Structure 1
Amino acid sequence: MTPTRTLTRDEARRIIVRAQLLDADRPGDVVEVGEQLGYIKIDPTATIAPCEHTVLWSRIGWSYEPGQLQKAVELDRLLFEFEGAFRPVSLLPLMLPVMRTWPRRESSRQWLEANAAFRADVLARLEREGPLLASDIPDTAQVDRAPDGWYGKNQVPHMLDFLARQGEVAIVGREGRHRRWDIAERVYPRDLPEYDEPEAERLLDERRLQAAGLAKQKSPWTRNGMAGEPVQVEGSKWRFRADPAALAALDEGDADGRDDPGGRVAFLNPYDSVLFDRPRLQEVFEFEYVLEQFKPAAQRRYGYFAHPILMGDRFVGMLDAEVDRKNDVLRVHAVHEFLPFEPEEHDIVQAELAELGNWLGMPVTGAPER
């Protein structure tokens, strides 16, 4: 039996940073980011910019413009919106087997059955008049779902989300933050490859591990199952799985004797995918990340929506900043340093702040000087 490979902590972090496209080699475009990450979270909280745009800027850099994402979704149809994220169309065939058996929760099935006529009304109107906003579709529900804090009394958004999960309807684009819906067959590509559910799930596990690079075996956060190769990480008792391509890239660099180009500074939106697996952050990066958005102001240490600062393969601080729309400036309240920055590190962070201001098209004010 081949012994399980052991990675150093540095190697483990390097694999994760590379998989998340946060190393020195920046990706070329929006679709490349979507294909590698598997999803780009959508969230309207915009102390600096909405999540989907800061995620892409932190990878692509100064050349990223929000219109590129809209083009990839609405014109090129290489990305699609599903359950609060933009995803690559290459994942759609792997998602369809589960979508076709949704819902599995009895209460959801009962609601759909009780609203069969309402469901038919929504599909018929989209077929006849789509694409449409939810506000363009009458609420003819026979049975209401209780308000849940995200939706009001109108049942149309509920029905559209249910139909989207079943693959019957799809989001064709947005007007501001409002989704525009259509019949799925007019949005999704035709002649997609077919997979049965076990095969689709296996391939999804592989894609999730590809995006993670390295994750705990059967991680409930990454949902990578037993994909990839078993590895150990020095100092950890966890059983890890590593993406084979990531291991090969690590070995190729070592074999060629090439210097690792290293990382860079990245300001990460609190909903960035690299931050989602909190246990892995603690185990591999020794970074205990807590989003303070929902804490009372008096209990916040770093700020309402502070962005973690990644430098190379280490989390070194938190950026508390927001766009001041009244004065049209990026206002930096604080750069919290976990350990005092060296002069060179301070300069690199300052340069990245200037780049962020340039991308936003506004000056940066309040940044600490030395």
Structure 2
Amino acid sequence: MTTYLKEDAIKMLIRYQNLDGKEELTGIDGVRTIMNRIGSIQYDPLNVVGRNADLVLQARIDNYKPEHLFSLLYDEHSLIDGVDKEMCIYCTRDFGKFTKVREAHTKSVISTLQHRNQMGALDIIDDVKAFVAEHGATGTKDISIGEVRESRWGHKKLSSVALDYLYNTGELCIKEKKGTQKYFDLTERIISNKEYSPFDDMSMEEFLNWYVKRRIACIGIVWDKRGGAWQGHYLDQNDLRKKTLNHLVENGEIDLCKIEGISEDFYAIPELNQGLHDVQKGDYTRFIAPLDNIMWDRTLLEKIFGFSYRWEVYTPVVKRKYGYYVIPVMYNNQFVARFEPEAISKSELFTIKNWWWEPNINPSEAMLESIFCELNRFAKFLGTESSKKNNEIIIAVKGHIL
């Protein structure tokens, strides 16, 4: 079993995720490269300075634009949105292998329908599917069958509930989006038969081996402790997960390793150590999405990076330590700060509301210059300019101006 220094583990993880930008990935081809490697990114509709999926990609890819992700999802259909750890975006090639996940998720969906008095939606499934088969791409406004009078939650039309249900089972996929409005079509019309195949011949053991190894690849290195890295159907079951991890280690499909100063065992994909001896190309700064892959397990994040983070979007204002939507700042493999941005539209400037340095960080001129460069890079991603007052906020350390 290999034991890595903590700084080496961090270096390999950052290199694997291309957060250091060493690979110089750009544009839509860069998205393809990253998604083929990490397999899945978390989707969240909240948009303060970009949605989470876009923030994940812009941190790894130069000249990234949200249109690139949109095209791969709804034009090329090489990516697809569906349940993984939560609602995620993943490679369409994996759609068939997610059959067991969709089946498990459907059970929880039915429980929700019962709670919301929407079980009548199941009685019109065939009618709704026939409507989509005849009319093609269908949004909730295009079809109106049944009404849920008793429910205060979710859709008011049973046909809208049925569309969502068929989407969760995998019988429908999102063909396109107009704003936030989804338009569904039959899955077999959108993706190839090979990808749509339910993989009925895949045993539970084969599925678990694939799914556990795939989840490790989403991050690069994990431990066997309950947390965000193992969130989702099957993976959150401790005994099942442990048995699968042991099998993968015995077969040489994943590496068992240690990180100096941490007692727990770690599991890494073999490709991780390829970046151990890479030379960093220069200083870099990246703004990390609150739901970035490396942030999924925040206890693990704190153990490895020494960085404590809590997403306070759903925390009452009086209980927040920092702010509503706070973005971590990474400089040369270290979290050095975090900031709260003002909500933005393309007609406004990218403006920082609050900036907090991490304890014991005294920013050098090189660090500040790197951060200022990233401010401009981030503003370019947003399609706007960086506010001139940002620099004044950033160089304010403990009330003093450097």
Whether TM-score is above 0.5 comes out as: yes
Deviations 1:57-112 (A, max 9, x none): 11112x11222112211222110121432211122132124435653457369789
1:180, CA displacement in angstroms? 1.0
Q: Within 5 Å, which residues of 2 pair with 1:184-203?
A: 184-192=187-195, 194=199, 195-203=202-210
1:213, CA displacement in angstroms? 1.0
Aligned: 1:31 with 2:57: no
Distance 2:321 2:42 in 1: 25
Match of 1:204 among 205, 211, 214: 211
Match of 1:295 among 311, 315, 323: 315
Q: Kindly provide the amino acid, as one letter, of the partner of residue 164 in structure 2.
A: D
CA contact (8 A) 2:118 2:161 kept: no
The equivalent residue for 1:68 is: 68
The equivalent residue for 2:45 is: 44
Q: Kindly provide the amino acid, as one letter, of the partner of residue 40 in structure 1.
A: I
CA contact (8 A) 1:217 1:240 kept: yes
Match of 2:184 among 181, 185, 188: 181
Q: What are the ranges of 5 or more consecutive residues in structure 2 without an aligned counterpart?
A: 236-240, 249-253, 393-401
1:360, CA displacement in angstroms? 2.3
Distance 1:139 1:262 in 2: 59
Q: Kindly provide the amino acid, as one letter, of the partner of residue 7 in structure 1.
A: Y
CA contact (8 A) 1:23 1:264 kept: yes
State the TM-score, normalizing by the size of structure 2: 0.80
CA contact (8 A) 1:131 1:180 kept: yes
Q: Kindly provide the amino acid, as one letter, of the partner of residue 186 in structure 1.
A: R
Distance 1:27 1:208 in 2: 23
CA contact (8 A) 1:15 1:214 kept: no
Name the % identity. Answer: 21
1:288, CA displacement in angstroms? 1.2
Aligned: 1:341 with 2:347: no
The equivalent residue for 1:364 is: 386
CA contact (8 A) 1:307 1:318 kept: yes
Match of 2:96 among 89, 93, 101: 93
The equivalent residue for 1:221 is: 228
Match of 1:14 among 2, 11, 15: 11
The equivalent residue for 1:312 is: 332
State the TM-score, normalizing by the size of structure 1: 0.87
The equivalent residue for 2:287 is: 267
Distance 2:211 2:284 in 1: 30
Aligned: 1:352 with 2:374: yes
Distance 1:220 1:47, change over 3 A: closer
Distance 1:326 1:107 in 2: 41
Distance 1:166 1:323, change over 3 A: closer
Distance 2:40 2:191 in 1: 17
Let me know the Cα RMSD of the aligned residues: 2.7
Report which stretch shifted further, 215-224 or 269-278.
215-224
The equivalent residue for 2:395 is: none
Distance 1:91 1:218 in 2: 25
Aligned residues between the structures: 357
1:115, CA displacement in angstroms? 4.1
Q: Kindly provide the amino acid, as one letter, of the partner of residue 171 in structure 1.
A: I
CA contact (8 A) 2:155 2:161 kept: no
Deviations 1:349-370 (A, max 9, x none): 1111011122323222221335
Distance 2:312 2:257 in 1: 33
CA contact (8 A) 2:80 2:92 kept: yes
The equivalent residue for 1:160 is: 163
